[in-house]
Protein backbone atom coordinates (compact mmCIF):
# COMPACT_ATOMS: atom_id res chain seq x y z
CA UNK A 1 0.00 0.00 0.00
CA UNK A 2 1.22 3.51 -0.80
CA UNK A 3 2.69 5.21 2.33
CA UNK A 4 0.36 8.22 2.02
CA UNK A 5 -2.61 5.91 2.38
CA UNK A 6 -1.47 4.64 5.77
CA UNK A 7 -1.48 7.73 8.00
CA UNK A 8 -4.11 8.66 10.54
CA UNK A 9 -5.94 11.74 11.79
CA UNK A 10 -3.82 14.06 13.91
CA UNK A 11 -5.00 17.13 15.80
CA UNK A 12 -2.42 19.47 17.28
CA UNK A 13 -2.69 21.51 20.45
CA UNK A 14 -4.57 24.46 18.96
CA UNK A 15 -7.08 22.10 17.34
CA UNK A 16 -5.95 22.78 13.78
CA UNK A 17 -6.56 19.75 11.63
CA UNK A 18 -3.31 18.63 10.05
CA UNK A 19 -3.20 16.82 6.69
CA UNK A 20 -4.49 13.33 7.30
CA UNK A 21 -5.89 10.54 5.22
CA UNK A 22 -7.22 7.04 5.30
CA UNK A 23 -8.30 4.53 2.70
CA UNK A 24 -11.59 2.81 3.25
CA UNK A 25 -12.90 -0.39 1.72
CA UNK A 26 -16.15 -2.21 2.35
CA UNK A 27 -16.12 -1.78 6.15
CA UNK A 28 -16.70 1.63 7.70
CA UNK A 29 -13.59 3.15 9.21
CA UNK A 30 -13.85 4.56 12.73
CA UNK A 31 -10.72 6.69 12.13
CA UNK A 32 -12.12 9.26 9.75
CA UNK A 33 -15.80 9.10 8.95
CA UNK A 34 -16.74 12.46 7.50
CA UNK A 35 -18.50 13.39 4.33
CA UNK A 36 -18.64 11.78 1.82
CA UNK A 37 -19.61 8.30 2.97
CA UNK A 38 -17.84 5.53 1.09
CA UNK A 39 -20.96 4.69 -0.95
CA UNK A 40 -21.51 8.31 -2.05
CA UNK A 41 -21.61 8.95 -5.76
CA UNK A 42 -22.87 12.13 -7.47
CA UNK A 43 -26.54 11.78 -8.34
CA UNK A 44 -26.12 13.14 -11.91
CA UNK A 45 -23.51 10.43 -12.58
CA UNK A 46 -25.23 7.39 -11.02
CA UNK A 47 -26.06 6.07 -14.49
CA UNK A 48 -22.31 5.61 -15.10
CA UNK A 49 -21.82 3.08 -12.27
CA UNK A 50 -21.23 -0.48 -13.39
CA UNK A 51 -23.57 -2.88 -11.57
CA UNK A 52 -21.78 -4.84 -8.86
CA UNK A 53 -18.78 -2.51 -8.62
CA UNK A 54 -18.03 -2.12 -4.89
CA UNK A 55 -16.93 1.32 -3.72
CA UNK A 56 -13.44 2.02 -2.40
CA UNK A 57 -12.38 5.47 -1.26
CA UNK A 58 -9.34 7.44 -0.19
CA UNK A 59 -9.75 10.74 1.68
CA UNK A 60 -7.47 13.59 2.64
CA UNK A 61 -7.93 16.66 4.84
CA UNK A 62 -6.01 19.65 3.49
CA UNK A 63 -4.78 22.71 5.35
CA UNK A 64 -5.64 26.15 3.91
CA UNK A 65 -2.20 26.69 2.38
CA UNK A 66 -0.92 26.73 -1.21
CA UNK A 67 1.20 23.61 -0.64
CA UNK A 68 -2.04 21.63 -0.25
CA UNK A 69 -2.41 21.59 -4.05
CA UNK A 70 0.84 19.63 -4.32
CA UNK A 71 -0.16 17.34 -1.43
CA UNK A 72 -3.57 16.64 -2.97
CA UNK A 73 -2.11 15.88 -6.38
CA UNK A 74 0.48 13.47 -4.94
CA UNK A 75 -2.14 11.82 -2.75
CA UNK A 76 -4.42 11.27 -5.75
CA UNK A 77 -1.59 9.82 -7.84
CA UNK A 78 -0.65 7.51 -4.97
CA UNK A 79 -4.24 6.31 -4.61
CA UNK A 80 -4.50 5.63 -8.35
CA UNK A 81 -1.23 3.72 -8.22
CA UNK A 82 -2.48 1.65 -5.30
CA UNK A 83 -5.66 0.86 -7.25
CA UNK A 84 -3.60 -0.02 -10.37
CA UNK A 85 -5.30 2.80 -12.30
CA UNK A 86 -2.26 4.82 -13.37
CA UNK A 87 -3.82 5.34 -16.80
CA UNK A 88 -5.94 8.08 -15.17
CA UNK A 89 -2.96 9.76 -13.49
CA UNK A 90 -2.36 12.65 -15.91
CA UNK A 91 -6.00 13.69 -16.09
CA UNK A 92 -6.63 13.16 -12.38
CA UNK A 93 -3.54 15.16 -11.46
CA UNK A 94 -4.82 18.15 -13.42
CA UNK A 95 -8.40 17.82 -12.16
CA UNK A 96 -7.31 17.56 -8.51
CA UNK A 97 -4.96 20.53 -8.94
CA UNK A 98 -7.69 22.69 -10.49
CA UNK A 99 -10.40 21.77 -7.97
CA UNK A 100 -8.18 22.21 -4.91
CA UNK A 101 -6.82 25.51 -6.26
CA UNK A 102 -10.39 26.75 -6.78
CA UNK A 103 -11.36 25.65 -3.27
CA UNK A 104 -8.40 27.50 -1.77
CA UNK A 105 -8.81 30.60 -3.94
CA UNK A 106 -12.59 30.93 -3.94
CA UNK A 107 -14.17 28.55 -1.42
CA UNK A 108 -12.13 29.55 1.60
CA UNK A 109 -12.06 33.23 0.66
CA UNK A 110 -15.85 33.35 0.36
CA UNK A 111 -16.66 31.41 3.53
CA UNK A 112 -15.68 34.40 5.65
CA UNK A 113 -14.52 32.10 8.42
CA UNK A 114 -11.17 31.91 10.10
CA UNK A 115 -8.22 30.48 8.19
CA UNK A 116 -8.61 27.35 10.33
CA UNK A 117 -11.11 25.98 7.80
CA UNK A 118 -9.99 22.94 5.85
CA UNK A 119 -10.63 21.50 2.43
CA UNK A 120 -11.46 17.84 2.02
CA UNK A 121 -10.52 15.66 -0.92
CA UNK A 122 -12.07 12.27 -1.57
CA UNK A 123 -11.42 9.82 -4.38
CA UNK A 124 -14.15 7.23 -4.78
CA UNK A 125 -13.57 4.29 -7.07
CA UNK A 126 -16.40 2.29 -8.62
CA UNK A 127 -15.08 -0.22 -11.17
CA UNK A 128 -13.21 1.65 -13.92
CA UNK A 129 -14.42 5.04 -12.71
CA UNK A 130 -12.97 7.33 -10.07
CA UNK A 131 -14.78 10.39 -8.75
CA UNK A 132 -12.67 13.20 -7.36
CA UNK A 133 -14.65 15.24 -4.80
CA UNK A 134 -13.34 18.46 -3.26
CA UNK A 135 -15.30 19.97 -0.36
CA UNK A 136 -14.90 23.56 0.77
CA UNK A 137 -16.95 25.58 3.28
CA UNK A 138 -17.66 28.50 0.92
CA UNK A 139 -21.15 29.37 -0.33
CA UNK A 140 -20.11 30.26 -3.90
CA UNK A 141 -21.25 28.40 -6.98
CA UNK A 142 -18.68 27.06 -9.46
CA UNK A 143 -19.21 28.75 -12.82
CA UNK A 144 -17.69 28.04 -16.22
CA UNK A 145 -16.40 31.42 -17.33
CA UNK A 146 -15.20 32.71 -20.66
CA UNK A 147 -12.26 34.87 -19.63
CA UNK A 148 -10.83 37.47 -21.96
CA UNK A 149 -7.68 36.51 -23.89
CA UNK A 150 -5.58 38.73 -21.62
CA UNK A 151 -7.02 37.47 -18.33
CA UNK A 152 -4.60 35.26 -16.40
CA UNK A 153 -6.68 32.25 -15.43
CA UNK A 154 -10.34 31.44 -15.44
CA UNK A 155 -10.08 28.25 -17.50
CA UNK A 156 -9.81 25.75 -14.63
CA UNK A 157 -13.34 24.38 -14.89
CA UNK A 158 -12.98 24.13 -18.67
CA UNK A 159 -9.98 21.86 -18.04
CA UNK A 160 -12.00 19.81 -15.55
CA UNK A 161 -14.87 19.54 -18.03
CA UNK A 162 -12.61 18.44 -20.87
CA UNK A 163 -10.88 15.73 -18.82
CA UNK A 164 -13.89 14.24 -17.05
CA UNK A 165 -16.70 11.97 -18.13
CA UNK A 166 -19.02 14.20 -16.10
CA UNK A 167 -18.57 16.92 -13.50
CA UNK A 168 -20.74 19.09 -11.28
CA UNK A 169 -21.25 20.33 -7.77
CA UNK A 170 -23.73 20.00 -4.92
CA UNK A 171 -24.38 21.91 -1.70
CA UNK A 172 -23.36 20.24 1.55
CA UNK A 173 -25.33 20.84 4.74
CA UNK A 174 -24.99 22.76 6.96
CA UNK A 175 -22.73 24.86 4.71
CA UNK A 176 -20.30 24.54 1.88
CA UNK A 177 -20.22 22.63 -1.35
CA UNK A 178 -18.65 19.65 -3.02
CA UNK A 179 -17.30 19.98 -6.56
CA UNK A 180 -16.83 16.61 -8.25
CA UNK A 181 -15.51 15.13 -11.47
CA UNK A 182 -15.79 11.53 -12.69
CA UNK A 183 -12.81 10.19 -14.64
CA UNK A 184 -12.35 6.86 -16.35
CA UNK A 185 -14.24 4.99 -18.94
Question: What is the CB-side half-sphere exposure of residue 39 using CA atoms within 13 A?
Answer: 4
Range scoring the smallest mean pLDDT among 56-65, 74-83, 84-93, 143-152: 143-152
pLDDT at 172: 86
Average pLDDT over residues 103-112: 75
**CA–CA gap between residue 185 and residue 174 (Å, rounded):** 33
pLDDT at 114: 53
Architecture of domain 37-47+54-142+154-184: 2-Layer Sandwich (3.30)
Q: Where are the beta strands (DSSP E) in the chain?
A: 20-24, 55-62, 119-126, 129-136, 166-171, 177-184
Q: Are 166 and 151 in contact (CB under 8 A)?
A: no
In the predicted model, is pLDDT for residue 31 greater than 80?
Answer: no
**CA–CA gap between residue 62 and residue 118 (Å, rounded):** 6
Amino acid sequence: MHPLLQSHVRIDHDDLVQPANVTRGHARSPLLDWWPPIVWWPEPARDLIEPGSPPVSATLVLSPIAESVWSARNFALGALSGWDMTGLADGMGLVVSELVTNALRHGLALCGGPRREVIRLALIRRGRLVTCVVFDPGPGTPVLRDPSPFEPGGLGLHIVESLSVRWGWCPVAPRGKAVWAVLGG
